[in-house]
Structure 1
């Protein structure tokens, strides 16, 4: 029986078109490649439409053990869905037809080139290439649950960590131990030049290799700011080794700037949200924030960011009343932050107070520097619920321009479709 899920992100096309013919052929190839690994392969058109809810597709993108993206013909919806998958740092495979050009933002990612997929030889080659990727995932694991951490932010943090490690002198005993025997160049490269190895691991959805490196890096260089950034990346992705390093560092706040503490706190909160353990640390996080307020002068923006992290934890734990009180503190300190206003609207929605939710999403949209798809999606839903049809249509049109896939998903809701169509 299938024990893992693979979600195929692909242009589908109408029945009888060349796009549908090629998409179906690739679906057969993918099924053939993954059958031996115990995968259930899903493409969006195979889901009964009556069972689809607005967020179901995004949930599959974020939670499937593996995603395979067909980038042929640069379909915008495919790129949107693929981008959402990249944010999770979970395994994915990209395919593109021979002689087509990869866009610059994914050009650096290993991609399978296929050709003549309608022939036995072409199909067999594609199957073999897919299996080669999957065998790597089988050995290294399929990563952790989605963390919402973009690969761009991971890469940026790793670059700063690498610069720090490159400046370190080579320790006399560094040639032995867990990363290789005496003279092991591979082990030394991982230890002192981790960028290439870590980026490759991230692209393959294998953060466990980075997590294995962290204790040795902490031992050699201490809890410097760069090392803490690495721990924060891993904590955000659900690795306990990362969150333990952060809690240990926050036990002694001397020398840490309030802004940096806020960043580390955000990664700690992300860890507990990812692992569904919010209730374990609600009191601990509250005590940390209150202790900082008592012990040092904190700027309004930094304090607002800390309150926002505390409300994220409370929201995740389902304590919406407390989350609201903390969210309001963040807004009082930073009234022009659209994300804080949006978060407050989400809380009011959970509290079944749609008119208050609409008030705050209105404010969020009015102060935003740029249009955010999640904010617009939420606005459409709230406007529909509060019988503001014209506003719902206006927000929907904006959403369709910048994130057509999210707009299409909203149309699966009968009431939204009735109002905006």
Structure 2
């Protein structure tokens, strides 16, 4: 290997990617006293999709000591989600319906701003953060264990060695490429076309200020997410075949938006920005998310359709838990295999539950209200649906989650051991479990 100005550094942990997963992990590890190198291939702040957040994300921000700082940024507060059905009817999920003890609100954010907040927190905790650092390859020893990375910054190549490498590099994951882990989800081959509007006036909103709106129609769905008090993100999600059959992304975006009058009403007086963004073929998962010397967190291992806004929540949760796992393995290397297996189960359980929730929405034909009623649940005034919509992707104490897990047609990962304990609210989970005598929630509806 020939390198320009060869340099070598050694730390305990290298984290690839300064998105929510990587920045969270770097902050947790640095605060634990670990030496951390965080490599980000772009300059911060950088644009990203995934602006609506979940209540469980807000609770994780509290655990990271970042909630008050996030609240001071002026992000819109999200208290619920409105579902608009193809016939124009609508229902609203109120996050207060989760039940006592759980965070009832979330933030809607401009991701470039929010992600930068998380990255600067990692830096303030002591992580070394290098921007515009492109990781080219993972380094391994003779046994195949990952021992570091080769990366480029400022036109020079560098090597860095570590006891553990955490890949939080998202779609550009080096571990996914090196170990060929990525698989597609054939029934979620969609595309998103979206742009931002300025001069938003929420007094025009026929629903609730701060809410996300999800408007279903015959060929897909529309999102409306306020990311500042006067800026809103509007996206159209559709099968890739629908986009290919259209005259242009701009034309199909405008036509689909026109099918949701409640969202059009909310945009009264708002000014569209000229930039139109397109995200295609974005759903995948990995059966292998850990290995000798390496782990994945966030989108590096899986990315699922954004309809229920779970991406950032899962990224922060897996970033948090991967950091805790690596910290334990550094103290007890003989337990590495056991601890990695526990983390792998947690990772897959979260993404598996989220995938099933999204699959149910698409199977409903955008008629989620009627679909849920047939299964014994509801969009509104239902604590179990409100809870999973808030980020409850792990516990077996939620009967709706249990029903989703019975649907074999939505299986993705190869068989694995479920992680049935909530990592966000472990105390509440333990209380509910004790009240049921240690048993999971019963499922009394059809598993059809």
> Structure 2-normalised TM-score?
0.24
Task: From the CA coordinates, give the structure whose radius of gyration is larger.
Answer: 1
Greater percentage in helix:
1
Structure with higher RCO (Cα < 8 A, 6+ apart): 2
Question: Which has the larger strand fraction?
Answer: 2
